[in-house]
Amino acid sequence: MNRAVWLRTAAIVTCLAGWSTAPAPSRAAANPFLATSTLPFQAPRFDLIHDSDYQPAFLLGMKAQRAEIRAIAANPAAPTFDNTIVAMERSGRMLDRVSETFYGVYQANTNPTLDKAQAAIAPLLAQHQDAIYLDPELFARVQAIYATRATLKLDPEQAQLLEIYHQQFVHAGAQLPDRDKATLRRLNTRLSTLETVFQQKLLTATKAGALVVSDKTALAGLDTAAIAAAASAAHDRGLAGKWVLPLQNTTQQPALQTLENRDTRKALFTNGWLRAERGDAGDTRATIAELAQLRAQKAALLGYPDYASYVLYDQMARTPDAVQHFIAQLVPATLAEQKREVADIQSAIRKDGKDFQPEPWDWQLYAEQVRKAQYDLDQDQVKPYFELDTVLRDGVFFAANQLYGISFKERKDIPVYNPDIRVFEVSDKDGSPLALIYFDYFKRDNKNGGAWMSNFVGQSHLLGTKPVVYNVANFTKPAPGQPALISFEDVTTMFHEFGHALHGMFADQTYPTLSGTAVARDFVEFPSQFNEHWALDPTVFAHYAKHYQTGAPMPQVLVDKIKKAARFNQGYALGEIITAAKLDMDWHMIKPGTPRQDVDWFEAASMDRMGLDTKDVPTRYRSSYFLHIWANGYAAGYYAYLWTEMLDDAAFAWFRAHGGLTRENGQRFRDMILSRGHTQDYGPMFRAFYGKDPDITPMLRHRGLIPGDE
């Protein structure tokens, strides 16, 4: 989901050390990142930006910020909040512009030029970050201000900003002796390089892992639109007369739900399962093993027992033990449900006249049969009522209007980086301009898997900027002339990512470091998962669930089936996430000095310790394609999806108890959660809204794993 830049959250930060290559003068003079964009909301100038502009802009941006930071560190005046902390907040404007734009495009629409730029720039950004955080003069100023903070009469946001800066400097190694700082610099450079290598290898592996089918009969069970999309995907690859089923970046694949040919199912599943373990250019295992080992070394250097402890220091959970305890509470109810579900799957296989034990590639097909039998719900009956544009306009936008009073107007005059993208201007409840949002929904071979949100421009009163955000997904693009009919799971994804967008658009901070979604991993998914609940709200659902041809509302009997089916297969759904979260924690609780791991052995041992049915319910992500934890900033943080589910279900229970979908409730949530950024600690922020600490009961009840009305 969210990718932050610079010192704002210390994810991708900032020195030009050891780099002597200058950009060509002609391109440097014309570089569109040199000046602030003149488009509305300072939106990126995709009409002017060339792929060749990014790398020179990064170099110029780092050079400019390095000069700004050096001037702050060398300032002869006594350190003050304004001449040090605020000055750092103002620095790096060009680097912000290029970073935010580049990573938005790189993740969603890469090409060889951008791949090369990322490979070259990633280690330089790591060095740049180290040059800031490990600068002894700069830290001395921060330390001096921090030591006198009680006398400075700072307002709450200023006090929080100072606290965060001091934490980040210390956490980044500012207090290490020079020898250890040199070691840390080498580790950070190597880690940033490996993360880029992993991402590029995985993109190669995922593209190569797509299933190519030569016989159309092997696709029996797919509907006409899906077969047409597979033919179109083959055509795009120059494979005339064939069909291609691209992989999404999860273990299970959408087509497994309807493919009738077991050999085809097995081939598709296996292609995904082994995509990055084929001993070729896309094999990620050696990269993973080195990443895990170097992260453990970094944690030890900074005084932590393991990398998970290093990561969790500023999260809501705080410690690996707290995470492990939380996950352990979910296992008993999940395992009991998995056992019931396996029996149902086996029964469905027998009813189908087959005699085999279920394998992972069978689950989705027979789970759908169980769903139809238990709930009489056929996805082919459902999809005609979920046309993407209608869901967006009459569902996602409508719910936001009802809760928060905001409105949307499409802007076709804003340049984009791919013709599939749509842009909307967002107006606040009083009609004033609030934000700009881009939607990039369709799958491409050059797009990372999954779905996410981030900013092209972050909000800040100090900098005078309003949010420019984007939502990205990987829905199957329909064949030309066909409607984009999506599953209810895709509908939920749209609401989820838009919840992140709301968090970014409602940002109301002075300082960019504290703004919007620049919050902890185990809090950032709270607004997005909370927003998913409105997809099934009766008022919202009735407004968007209409037949794409007739406009007729979905029959109530089908609505009821969807709502009942929402609790179906929860042992599987929760189990695959728990195993991924545990696998992530296991990798990042490796102790310093442990030999480099054999990835296959380590993963198998981790699965054996899960306490869940990992044979029938495989992990959502294997180590080799776990993009979240190896390149996207979720290392020791994948549990956050479960932790924030606890928060969002508790918050929705509060809404239900106070009248549900009302402007008053929406305004309260906006004021107390969505607009607060990281201006205070997460526990007090949540308790102020909810009235007490969260617990797992609403979460388990919402999933139907314990009795009771949610």
Cβ count within 10 A of residue 101: 25
Following DSSP, what letter does each residue of 474-500 receive, concatenated? Answer: EEPPPPTTS--B--HHHHHHHHHHHHH
Strands 433-442 and 422-427: antiparallel
Residue type, 482: Q
Annotate 557-594 with b (16+ C-beta within 10 A) or e (fewer). Answer: ebbebbeebbbbbbbbbbbbbbbbbbbbbbbbbbebee
pLDDT band at 636 (very low <50, low <70, confident <90, very high): very high
pLDDT band at 29 (very low <50, low <70, confident <90, very high): low
Structural domains of the chain, ranges and CATH numbers in brackets: 40-175 (1.20.1050.40), 285-372+570-703 (1.10.1370.10), 383-567 (1.10.1370.40)
**Residue-wise pLDDT tens digits, 677-700:** 999 999 999 999 999 999 999 999
Given the residues 89, 100, 368, 497, the one annotated as active site: 497
Cβ count within 10 A of residue 549: 9
* Predicted pLDDT of residue 13: 22
207/1: higher pLDDT: 207
Among 141-155, 390-404, 441-455, the range scoring the smallest mean pLDDT is: 441-455
Stretch 564-585: mean pLDDT, rounded? 95
**Residue-wise pLDDT tens digits, 238-272:** 999 999 999 999 999 999 999 999 999 999 999 99
Residue 181 pLDDT > 50, yes or no? yes
Mapping DSSP to helix (H, G, I), strand (E, B) and coil, where does residue 442 land? strand
Task: State how far the Cα of 638 lies from the Cα of 688, in Å rounded to an integer.
Answer: 26
User: What are residue 452's DSSP bridge partners?
Assistant: 472
**Residue-wise pLDDT tens digits, 204-245:** 999 999 999 999 999 999 999 999 999 999 999 999 999 999
For the record, the structure tokens of 322 come out as 């707290």
**Percentage of the residues of the chain whose pLDDT score is greater than 70:** 95
Stretch 82-86: mean pLDDT, rounded? 98
Stretch 280-288: mean pLDDT, rounded? 97
pLDDT band at 377 (very low <50, low <70, confident <90, very high): confident
445/205: higher pLDDT: 205
**Residue-wise pLDDT tens digits, 86-134:** 999 999 999 999 999 999 999 999 999 999 999 999 999 999 999 999 9
Stretch 614-620: mean pLDDT, rounded? 97
Stretch 624-638: mean pLDDT, rounded? 95
497 noted as active-site residue: yes
* Predicted pLDDT of residue 379: 80
- N-term to C-term CA, the chain: 27
**Residue-wise pLDDT tens digits, 526-556:** 999 999 999 999 999 999 999 999 999 999 9
* Predicted pLDDT of residue 402: 98
